[in-house]
Amino acid sequence: MAAVIEAHGLTKNYGRRRGVSDLTLLVPAGEVFGFLGPNGAGKTTTIRTLLGFLRPTSGRAALFGSDVSGHSAALHRRIGYLPGELALYEKMTGRDLLTYFAHLRGSHDLTYATTIAERLGADLSRPIRTLSKGNKQKIGLIQAFMQRPDLLILDEPTSGLDPLVQQEFYRLVADAKAAGQTVFLSSHILSEVDHVADRVGIIRAGRLIVVEAIHTLKSKTVRRLDIQLAAAVPESAFAGMPGVRDLHVTDANVRCTVEGPLDGLIKALAAHTVITLTSHEPDLEEVFLAYYTGEPDHAAA
Amino acid sequence: MLLRNVFLKTLRDERRSLLWWAVGIAVLAGYTLVFYPFMRDNSDLTKLMQSLPPALRSIYGQADFSTGSGYLGSALFNLMVPLLFLVYGITQGASAIAGEEDRRTLDLLLANPVSRSHVVLAKFAALCAALVGLGVVLWLTLWLGGTLVQLNVPVGNLAAATLSGVLLGGAAAALALAVGAATGNRGISLGIAATVALAGYLVRTLAASIPALADWQKLSPFYYYNNHQPLINGLSLGNAAVFLVAAALCVAAAVALFTRRDLAV
């Protein structure tokens, strides 16, 4: 498949602020790519360089095979973009803003925009300044999706959305994928992209550390579990199980860290009466650590 | 449909503000005209004005209130008209790119298939259209109001004087646009354009009484604004060309510098 996004040794330095170093990445057509990293890792810098808003210090990037530092206006016809720090025209209503952007894209048709607005529960009739952050985010999403662009570049798309709207957003991404669109979305939380992404790239301190299929990454994922049993158990009941670490058993309470599949632990737990089981989502640092301990070769690189 | 393109949308954003500017300019011009008959018939006042030292007289223009052109020149075109067109031009020019960047909406706009040069040109064109619109309001008010008070200034000369103000404002707007497009900083843009306008005004005004400034005043935009006395002599194509060339150079610089730099987040 042809690469929709292509970056070779892409580097962007500015002043004291951290940029992006030597980023090489290929995103094929039709893929949903999750771009993960803590805040300030260089996600937004990468995205804004891809869109031609920043000039690369070195290296090159291309979208649909055309270099981004050339005439990006023509490329933008095929791209829907949601900025990470979304700012809209506050005095306009949502409908006016969408009408304006549709015209700039050479279309008068707001049918799909209206459909998405209904799905997300966005109010298009009020001036944007009167909307909450989440409702502004919905307008931002609609303008990105409304022309069914070949490529969607979404910087922190779920920020400010309440959980139900987030679910609808994931369905929008799934629809886009089904329609053959390519989606590049960034987040600082793994669980926000792992439903929808085919592959994930993790960037830290301006460097792309790993690009993995989502199921591979998840198999290396570390979870912290907190289990309350009905009766006290000896620590030996769970000791030495594969993937189980940092085991602490106090009376009927079991706390541990599990890397990879939970299956073994769950089957061992089934022999007891489980009152509660709480799984703490790993943060990205833990994912990195798990990745490195799992594959020492990469850690050295 | 005012949402069709960047040019029309920029005018749409300004529609309320423009309406008030138009009302303000019409009221100012009308108010000035109302006093003309009293001034014309009061020869003592003209004598008083002409007895002022040259430095003070240069602030009030020709200070001949016995003719319509002398009166309008002093009361309106010497200070108020250039001030209004400069304020409108400079504030709008500074906001055109830098304002949108300050409000962080530029990313979203440029994510659409519009080039940076298109945005600069469309915004400047909208600004020029607004300035010309305000000029037409001023001209019509002076023309229609002038017939009521027997101003006796040819309508062509009124148009020439108004156009000089529009050109002065437009050139200053182009400078503010260029600085804003190059730096992304609205404050710097306002500061530089306002400083150039103020320095130009001071040099032009003081040149009347300080011979050493006589050559320097040719660097002042105000020299090209009123050295030909358009209320008396009509339009000077040479002066108009100076403003047009200066504006064109600024806009070209705005495009060149804006398309080559990183956009602020």
Pairwise pLDDT comparison (B56 vs A11), residue with the higher score: A11
Q: Give pLDDT, residue A288.
A: 67
Which residues in chain A are closer than 8 Å to B265, comparing Cβ atoms?
A: 44, 48, 85
Q: Give pLDDT, residue B52.
A: 75
A296 has a pLDDT exceeding 60: no
- Interface residue of A45, A104, A150, A155 to substitute, partner B, most B CBs within 10 Å: A104
Q: Give the pLDDT confidence of A248-281 residue by residue, as tens digits.
A: 999 899 999 888 788 888 988 998 999 999 988 7
Mean pLDDT in residue range A106-132: 96
- A210 and A233 in contact (C-beta within 8 Å)? no
Q: Give the pLDDT confidence of B248-258 residue by residue, as tens digits.
A: 999 999 999 99
For the ranges A57-66, A138-147, B57-66, B109-118, the lowest mean pLDDT is seen at: B57-66
Q: Give pLDDT, residue B58.
A: 64
B15 has a pLDDT exceeding 70: yes
- B180 and B96 in contact (C-beta within 8 Å)? yes
Q: Give pLDDT, residue B45.
A: 73
| Interface contact A127, partner B, CB < 8 A | no
Chain B closest-CA separation from residue A182 CA (Å): 17
A297 has a pLDDT exceeding 60: no
Distance CA(A207)–CA(A190), nearest Å, equals: 17
A17 has a pLDDT exceeding 80: no
Q: Give pLDDT, residue A283.
A: 66
Mean pLDDT in residue range B30-52: 83
DSSP summary character for residue B263: P
Minimal Cα distance from B108: which residue of A? Answer: A83
Q: Take residue A187 and report the two structure tokens written for it.
A: 């987040």
Mean pLDDT in residue range A208-218: 86
A217 CB contacts (<8 Å, ≥6 apart)?
A: A190, A194, A200, A210, A287, A291
H-helix or E-strand spanning residue B156: helix B155-183
The answer to whether the Cα torsion of B234, B239, B243, B248 is positive or negative is positive
Minimal Cα distance from A140: which residue of B? Answer: B108
Distance CA(B222)–CA(A16), nearest Å, equals: 44
Q: Give the pLDDT confidence of B102-134 residue by residue, as tens digits.
A: 999 999 999 999 999 999 999 999 999 999 999
**Residue A295 confidence class, pLDDT cut points 50, 70, 90:** very low
Q: Give the pLDDT confidence of B168-179 residue by residue, as tens digits.
A: 999 999 999 999
Q: Take residue A250 and report the two structure tokens written for it.
A: 């106090």
Cβ-based neighbour number of residue A245 at 10 Å: 11
Distance CA(A5)–CA(A67), nearest Å, equals: 10
Minimal Cα distance from B260: which residue of A? Answer: A55
Q: Give pLDDT, residue B59.
A: 62
A142: nearest Cα among A178, A187, A96, A184 = A96
Which residue among B9, B105, B260 places its CB closest to the CB of A88? B105
B91: nearest Cα among B199, B225, B189 = B189
Chain B closest-CA separation from residue A269 CA (Å): 51
A293 has a pLDDT exceeding 60: no
Q: Give pLDDT, residue B47.
A: 75
Which residue among A74, A90, A100 places its CB closest to the CB of B3? A100
Q: Give the pLDDT confidence of B134-147 residue by residue, as tens digits.
A: 999 999 999 999 99
Which residues in chain B are closer than 8 Å to A140, comparing Cβ atoms?
A: 108
**Residue B43 confidence class, pLDDT cut points 50, 70, 90:** confident
Q: Give pLDDT, residue A258.
A: 86
Q: Taking each helix axis from N to C terminus, what angle separates A133-145 and A111-120, rounded to the nearest 10 degrees?
A: 150
Strand order in the sheet with A244-250: A244-250, A253-259, A222-229, A274-280
Cite the DSSP H helix spans in chain A.
43-50, 72-76, 94-104, 111-120, 133-145, 163-178, 190-193, 214-219, 263-269, 284-294, 296-300
Distance CA(A197)–CA(A152), nearest Å, equals: 13
Minimal Cα distance from A143: which residue of B? Answer: B108
Bridge partners of A254, per DSSP, are A227, A249
Q: What is the pTM of this model?
A: 0.88
Mean of all residue pLDDT scores within chain B: 93
- Interface residue of A50, A89, A153 to substitute, partner B, most B CBs within 10 Å: A89
Q: Give the pLDDT confidence of B86-96 residue by residue, as tens digits.
A: 999 999 999 99
Q: Give pLDDT, residue A38.
A: 86
Residue A9 CA, chain-centre distance (Å), reads 22
Residue B158 CA, chain-centre distance (Å), reads 15
| Cα maximum dimension of chain A | 70
Angle at B243 between CA B241 and CA B246, to 5 degrees: 105
Chain B closest-CA separation from residue A92 CA (Å): 9
Q: Give pLDDT, residue B84.
A: 97
Distance CA(A225)–CA(A261), nearest Å, equals: 13
- B192 and B142 in contact (C-beta within 8 Å)? no
For the ranges A133-147, A195-209, B153-167, the lowest mean pLDDT is seen at: A195-209
Mean of all residue pLDDT scores within chain A: 89
A70 has a pLDDT exceeding 80: no
Here the ipTM equals: 0.90
